[in-house]
Amino acid sequence: MQLQVMNSPFNQEQVDLLNRLLPTMTESQKVWLSGYLAASQFTSVPGVQEAPAAQLPAPSAGQTISKEVTILYGSQTGNAQGVAENAGKTLSRRGFQVTVSSMSDFKPNNLKKVQNLIIVSSTHGEGDPPDNALSFHEFLHGRRAPKLDDIRFSVLSLGDSSYEFFCQTGKEFDQRLEELGATRLYPRVDCDLDYDEPAAEWLEGVISSLSEAQGGSTAPAVAAAPQAGKSVYSRTNPFKAEVLENLNLNGRGSNKETRHLELSLEGSGLTYEPGDSLGIYPQNDPALVDTLLVEMKWDPEEMVTVGKQGDVLPLREALTSHYEITVLTKPLLEQAAQLSANENLRELVAPGNEEKLKAYLEGRDLLDLVRDYVLWGVSAQAFISILRKMPARLYSIASSLSANPDEVHLTIGAVRFEAHGRERKGVCSILAAERLQPGDTLPVYIQHNQNFKLPENPDTPIIMVGPGTGIAPFRAFLQEREETGAEGKSWLFFGDQHFRTDFLYQTEWQKWVKDGVLTKMDVAFSRDTDEKVYVQHRMLEHSKELFEWMQQGAVIYICGDEKNMAHDVHHTLLEIIAKEGGMSHEKAEAYLAGMQQQKRYQRDVY
């Protein structure tokens, strides 16, 4: 591995020294060094943060270390699950006996039987565990959690450094396992949105530590057998999908603009199921890129080195396609302060100014930063080296592959708002709304989501709650149920602002109701009445029947905004269960938690 100055906090002399040293080190030396640096509160290259950890203990003489490894994941959108499953396959090829499980499917009482525990967890919302990690997280932090003196563990955290509680859930698992007596076999690694490389390095460290405990007796890696029919396209190798249709679903005079996008997957080999998402790698607004270039007095055609692969591109193209420029993060400002001589910026990121920094980050972008703190004089190459790679945007798929072979449909709400004296635009949504034409292509991949799936039994009743663009996966659900002839009852709650302009896919729902594919539909248009009415109000109006459906085994699905809608719907469900089931609030919470455990309460929220 060769370090490059633009991707690290080291100067050229330090890089040369490291590049001479690293190739000569054995795996055990690298593991020891990582533990030593972590214990010294070392922070590595941007995007990877290793937790402070004690020196990694060597197994005592004669101690037998099990080759069984348990990998538990907590995943909301599927990223952590994908990393965990990949880790399981890699460890299996190295000769370990591996069990990979969602935290919700793992019986906590079995923890005492585990010797080698790997945790892979994302963080959701404001530092919360993912839905399928809630019960395990609660158990581990509760009074019933056992002493875990015989467990050796490592944690990989996935997060987004633009959020205040970056990788919070992984940090909590890591700390709690240590408190319960478990021993780290490798330090925790916290990953930002571009997690592929740090996750791979973490896994190699874990394998090295496990191998050392085996006395170096671990079997050599076995090449993975090619999977028949598996697409070559993925998150790290996206498919360029052609745009077939790009329509505005809202009527004239609406306050909203919702785009219906149809993309071709022909020739990709990509497949998906209802409930999965599509990842899109968008491009930044060219006007914003040009304004940034003018502000910094940079030459748009200057050639710069991009990414770890060392691709050389014109600066304008790099800023348009490869880097995030619309979101500010704490690590970015800290690194910008090191590049700049601006004392005000250094003061903003100094310890003790956390609240001021948090307020500054809200709603601002890179252009605000360079204008507010006058970063002129910084070279383009040095500046882009501190930027985050352009993250993909995930959208719930609004189609069934059975009903639309070789196609994928999306429902995307255009994001426009005013902040700090400037109009702001969503990167991907405004690309779709203003610049994307039929015939254009988009780099895409499928994000499988096992946490949001139709019931295996087609006779199971389903209840769907999806205001606004949250309607997307339920269009996929009903297309699929129509194709398969599912007989189970279905009930949809949809809400938006106005019946006349904002009833998304209205004719399709009406046809499904007429044909019996959709059993019931209740709508709430908040701006059509003096008093605002939302989906949760419609649910309360039908509380008796809703509870009867739950008692009959119905699966409830929620899709949309987590902070407001999903939060309100959750509390409405608790109210309905308590009222109609004659339960206390605590028993209603236990009832809903039980539904979640049985995968009868599923959420696709953002």
Which CATH number, 3.40.50.10490, 1.10.3720.10, 2.40.30.10, 3.40.350.10, labels domain 239-282+391-447?
A: 2.40.30.10
SS3 content of the chain, % helix, strand, coil (to 5): 40, 20, 40
Tokens found for residue 120: 């892979």
Q: Output the pLDDT for position 30.
A: 57
What are the residue ranges of helices labelled H in 297-392? 315-321, 330-339, 343-348, 354-361, 366-372, 380-384
Q: Output the pLDDT for position 309.
A: 77
Tokens found for residue 398: 């609004």
Neighbours of 197 (CB within 10 A): 14
- Tell me how far apart the alpha carbons of residues 301 and 513 are, in angstroms, rounded to a whole number: 57
Quick check: 8 pLDDT over 70?
no
Percentage of the chain surpassing pLDDT 70? 87
Q: Which of 72-81, 213-222, 280-289, 504-513 has the lowest mean pLDDT?
A: 213-222
Same fold across 286-384 and 462-605:
no
Q: What is the CATH number of domain 5-213?
A: 3.40.50.360
Q: Output the pLDDT for position 126.
A: 82
> What DSSP character marks residue 195?
-
Q: Output the pLDDT for position 270.
A: 98
Quick check: 448 pLDDT over 50?
yes
**Rounded to a whole number, what is the largest CA-CA distance in the chain?**
77
Q: Output the pLDDT for position 12.
A: 59
> What DSSP character marks residue 133?
G
Where are any strands of DSSP class E within 513-575? 520-525, 555-560
Average pLDDT over residues 8-28: 58
Question: Any idea where the domains of the chain sit in the sequence?
Answer: 5-213, 239-282+391-447, 286-384, 462-605
Q: What is the CATH number of domain 286-384?
A: 1.20.990.10
Tokens found for residue 200: 């791979």
Quick check: 311 pLDDT over 50?
yes
Do 536 and 572 touch, CB atoms closer than 8 A? yes
Q: What is the CATH number of domain 462-605?
A: 3.40.50.80
Q: Output the pLDDT for position 25.
A: 59
Q: What is the pLDDT of residues 395-446, one digit of tens each?
A: 999 999 999 999 999 999 999 999 999 999 999 999 999 999 999 999 999 9
Q: What is the mean pLDDT of the chain?
A: 89
Burial readout 578-605 (b: 16 or more C-beta within 10 A, e: otherwise): bebeeeeeeebeebbeebbeebbbbbbb
Q: Output the pLDDT for position 11.
A: 58
pLDDT interval class at 530 (50, 70, 90): confident
* Residue from 247, 257, 245 nearest 502 by CA: 257
Quick check: 43 pLDDT over 50?
no
Quick check: 228 pLDDT over 90?
no
> What DSSP character marks residue 439?
T
Quick check: 62 pLDDT over 50?
no
Average pLDDT over residues 99-113: 94
Neighbours of 44 (CB within 10 A): 16
Q: At what angle do helices 330-339 and 354-361 cross, to 10 degrees?
A: 100
* Residue from 168, 127, 177 nearest 147 by CA: 177
pLDDT interval class at 468 (50, 70, 90): very high
Q: What is the pLDDT of residues 557-578, one digit of tens each?
A: 999 998 889 999 999 999 999 9
pLDDT interval class at 18 (50, 70, 90): low
- Rounded to two decimals, the pTM is 0.85
